[in-house]
Structure 1
Amino acid sequence: MTGSAASPSFRLAYVPGVTPGKWVRIWQERLPDIPLELLAVSAAEASGVLRDCTADAALVRLPVDRTVFSAIPLYTETSVVLVPQDHVVTAADEVSTEDLADDVVLHPLDDVLDWERPPGQPALERPATTADAVDLVAAGIGLLVVPQSLARLHHRKDLTYRPVVDAPQSGVALCWPEDATTELVEDFIGIVRGRTVNSTRGRVQAPAQTQPERKRAEPKGGARKPAPGKGARGGAGGTRGGSGGSQSPRRGKPRRRS
């Protein structure tokens, strides 16, 4: 699932709004000989490309089926309401779902927010995609609540957005099949978790210091030899005739008896 033994590669799928660029750059620095292939998929397609091994791992929106997939939550996004530039909502810095009660709020079929009940008035039909819903917002048909990254992805000069303080939020996670935790998957896990290249938990590590290098780093013969005049006997200057410190007793001529 990481390519042939002769030419391994790592295939990473990602859903709209997720930007894997930072992690891809780190991968290329640490593993320049192993290509990382990016695969853009819709939120609905993400689990399928993992099940059929089209991708080794994916950056997805939660929730995922934890009986099949392992997942590491990475971050949670703010939800925003996308509105025309001249909408009354733009007068506030943030809004609540109650503030949207009198507006038509579009609920596309690929909506990634887990609503118990979507806010506002329902549209006559649900748009097929978020991109279709954005076009309807621009046409003045209704408003749209999405994760902030999707509002940025579908940016238009005639639209803006405001945070919705009590809307469900979308969590983004790294996900992979539980029974396919390969060494390359472990490498990518280390990258998204911010492990350094020398981390003992990461597979890719800096070369250990070799035995000859360790020998060169140590003084020859192990412990440092004492400098001349500083032998072990008698402490500093403990050799016979030395100056300073404690010395051996003098052996002069005996005194003449009177």
Structure 2
Amino acid sequence: MPDPFVLGVVPGVTPDRWVRVWRERMPDVPLAVVPVDDVTAALTGGVTMVFARLPIDGDGLHVIPLWEETPVVVAAKDHPVKLFEAVTEADLAAEELYPGWDEAVLDIVAAGHGIARMPQSVFRATGRRDVVARPITDAAPTRIGLVWSRDAGGPLVDEFIGVVRGRTANSSRGAPPEPPAAAPERPPRPSRPRPERSAKKRPRRR
């Protein structure tokens, strides 16, 4: 059996649909999904490609930007943000912000000591019911991209890029486009003799 294609994912990313397509198209190449915190370290430690949050610091990497994530504020269930469908940066200016989005931070927030910010997908992945989340309408979104090393190219990498981009199994990534069909040439029109114009003298003015 060949070595597995190792796909890394940062917190909040669920690659199930692409994994399913891969396993249908490439049943002989196992695909392993592993959680990733340090993208650069993962790519030098056996991970082939990573769904990562951009931007990524590091030279020698290929990056394909994919989708944006909505930022949310997370607070205790009895926090005033619960009364709103969404908030703005100005609404949160006086709040105590705890950086990060690990379980320890969420425990502090759930106890009523400040707020946290994170991508909406990360919050949903936590499954926490002791806190609430609301979108921040004027905050810059985060973006997920597909990242891999420039030294890790090959047919399997190309195949996974095709899976993510929605190419069909029968499409050929490297095939040159077919030249357009040449338009049929029209036969030259037969020239018609032009009638001779009789020279007429204009009457002189008197």
Residue aligning to 1:95: 87
Task: Find the residue that maps to 2:151 and give its secondary structure.
Answer: coil
Name which of 167, 175, 180 aligns with 1:195: 167
1:140 counterpart = 2:112: yes
Q: TM-score, normalised by structure 1?
A: 0.64
> Quick one: distance in 2 between partners of 1:59 and 1:142?
30
Residues 61, 147 of structure 1: CA spacing in aligned structure 2 closer, same or farther, 3 A cutoff?
A: same
> Deviation of residue 51 (structure 1)?
2.3
Q: How does 1:156-175 map to 2 (within 5 A)?
A: 156-175=128-147
Structure 2 gaps, min length 5: 176-206
Shift of 1:184: 0.5
Residue 34 of structure 1 pairs with residue 29 of structure 2: yes
2:71 to 55, 61, 79: 79
Are the equivalent residues in 2 in contact too, given 1:186–1:202 (CA < 8 A)? no
Q: Does the Cα contact within 8 Å between 2:2 and 2:28 map onto a contact in 1?
A: no
CA contact (8 A) 1:134 1:154 kept: no
Alignment counterpart, residue 150 of structure 2, candidates 166, 178, 181: 178
- 1:17 aligned onto 2:12: yes
* TM-score scaled by length of structure 2: 0.80
SS at match of 1:80: strand
Q: What residue number does 1:50 align with? A: 43
In the alignment, the residues of structure 1 paired with residue 125 and residue 3 of structure 2 have an alpha-carbon distance, to the nearest angstrom, of 32
Q: How does 1:225-240 map to 2 (within 5 A)?
A: none
Q: Secondary structure at the match of 1:179?
A: helix
Q: Between Structure 1 and Structure 2, how many residues are aligned?
A: 175
Runs of 4+ in 1 over 4 A off after TM superposition: none
**Structure 1, unpaired ranges of 5+:** 1-5, 109-128, 204-258
Pick from 52, 59, 62 the counterpart of residue 51 of structure 2. 59
Is the 8 Å Cα contact of residues 79 and 170 (structure 1) preserved in structure 2? yes
Distance 1:46 1:67 in 2: 12
Structure 2 CA distance, aligned partners of 1:46 and 1:66? Answer: 9
Measure how far apart 1:99 and its partner are: 0.2
Take 2:103 and 2:113, find their aligned partners in 1: how far apart are those partners? 14
- 1:83 & 1:8 partners in 2: Cα distance? 44
Which amino acid letter does the alignment assign opposite residue 150 of structure 1? V
| Counterpart position of 1:228 | none
C-alpha distance after superposition, 1:220-240 (max 9, x if no partner): xxxxxxxxxxxxxxxxxxxxx
CA contact (8 A) 2:9 2:35 kept: yes
Instruction: Indicate which of 148, 152, 166 corresponds to 2:124.
Output: 152
- Kindly provide the CA deviation profile for residues 192-239 of structure 1, in whole angstroms up to 9, marking residues without a partner as x: 000001112179xxxxxxxxxxxxxxxxxxxxxxxxxxxxxxxxxxxx
Q: Residue in 2 aligned with 1:125?
A: none
How far is the alpha carbon of 1:39 from its aligned partner? 1.2
Aligned equivalents of 1:49, 1:66: Cα separation in 2: 12
In the TM superposition, residue 74 of structure 1 has moved relative to its aligned partner by: 1.3
Structure ID, larger Rg: 1
Q: Residues of 1 paired with 2:159 and 2:8: CA distance? A: 16
- Matched residue of 2:171: which SS? coil
Q: Which has the higher contact order (CA 8 A, sep 6+)?
A: 2
Which residue in 1 is equivalent to 2:203? none
